[in-house]
Amino acid sequence: MAIADQVYKNLVADILENGVWDKDHEVRTVWEDGTPAYTKSLICKQLRFDNSEVPILTTKRVPWKSAIHEMLWFYVQRTSDCSYLDQYKVKLWKEWTNANNNIGKAYGYQLGKPIMLKGKITNQIDHLIDQLKNNPASRRHVISLWNIDDLDQMELYPCVWNNQWLVKQGKLHLIVNARSNDIGLGHPLNVFQYYVLQRMIAQVTGYELGTLTFNINDAHIYERHIEPLQEQLHREAYPAPTLWINPDIQRFDDFTIDDFKLIDYQYQPSIKMEIAI
């Protein structure tokens, strides 16, 4: 069994057995039919991967290209304009896209926003890469998508809102922090895409790959996702696939979807789950 499948199985089982319902409180999230989207949740779950294999589920199909596209949209395109997603027919954000075909000042906007540091105009990504190369021992390698001044201009508050990078003994470690994580739908994509991002940053900065830690403040399962997830828990898992990343890319902004191949990805059929909005 792939490591990601076992970690996921343990997380889902823990929430289903020990999670707390939010049915005693007003819930702002609803289903498409307008009924409240209740959840069962646990506080402060931590998942840790040694990155000896690709952390992608095999007990269901994970749309890995869409996951990479979303990450490229945020971190390489650095925009909230959905034209990039439209170009590749990625529909992950259609429920939160406004009339201007963007998601407001969220995610990619924050990464591309010009910032002034030490008299130089840069952005969070360029600054991160520069500091990883030139000041590796720093404990300040932090990316933040949570800008309180812009929250009211975001179509969706960032769920995965912060990440920190640490260089130890020539290895690049990544800690990802999520204020809230939909374990049925969003989580499988999030873990995989941040592994991909970690591989990309390690490649262009020249470090070996370290650990990936994923912290979830509110790990929740929606009521209508319980039955399909229970089915998934009983499925047979396959060995993890291999991710090829074009080794010729040495500049972060040069990465495109053509620089990634997921090799020998075996998986069980997709599981359809409703999206809560």
**150-to-28, 106, 108, 259 alpha-carbon distances in Å:** 21, 8, 13, 33
Rounded to a whole number, what is the largest CA-CA distance in the chain?
57
Domain assignment present for residue 275? The answer is no
Distance, CA of 243 to CA of 245 (rounded, Å)? 6
Contacts of 5 (CB under 8 A, 6+ apart): 57, 58, 59, 237
Task: Give pLDDT, residue 85.
Answer: 98
Tell me the per-residue pLDDT of 9-48, one tens digit each, with 9 for 90 and over: 999 999 999 999 998 777 779 998 989 999 999 999 999 9
Question: Is residue 241 helix, strand or coil?
Answer: coil
Domain assignment present for residue 139? The answer is yes
Task: Find, among 34, 26, 17, 29, the residue nearest to 186 by Cα.
Answer: 29
Domain assignment present for residue 273? The answer is no
Domain with 159 in it: what CATH number?
A: 3.30.572.10
Task: Give pLDDT, residue 42.
Answer: 98
Distance, CA of 71 to CA of 43 (rounded, Å)? 26
Give the catalytic positions in this structure: 159
Domain assignment present for residue 133? The answer is yes
Domain assignment present for residue 274? The answer is no
Instruction: Note down the domain range covering 139.
Output: 3-263
Residue entry with tokens 């010009």: 114
If one counts the domains in the chain, the total is: 1
Domain assignment present for residue 269? The answer is no
As a whole number, the mean pLDDT across the chain is: 97
Domain assignment present for residue 271? The answer is no
Query: Which pair of tokens denotes residue 260?
Result: 């990634």
Tell me the per-residue pLDDT of 44-103, one tens digit each, with 9 for 90 and over: 999 999 999 999 999 999 999 999 999 999 999 999 999 999 999 999 999 999 999 999
Domain assignment present for residue 210? The answer is yes
Query: What is the mean pLDDT of the segment spanning 130-138?
Result: 98
Helix residue ranges per DSSP H, the chain: 3-18, 64-72, 83-87, 108-112, 124-134, 186-205, 226-233
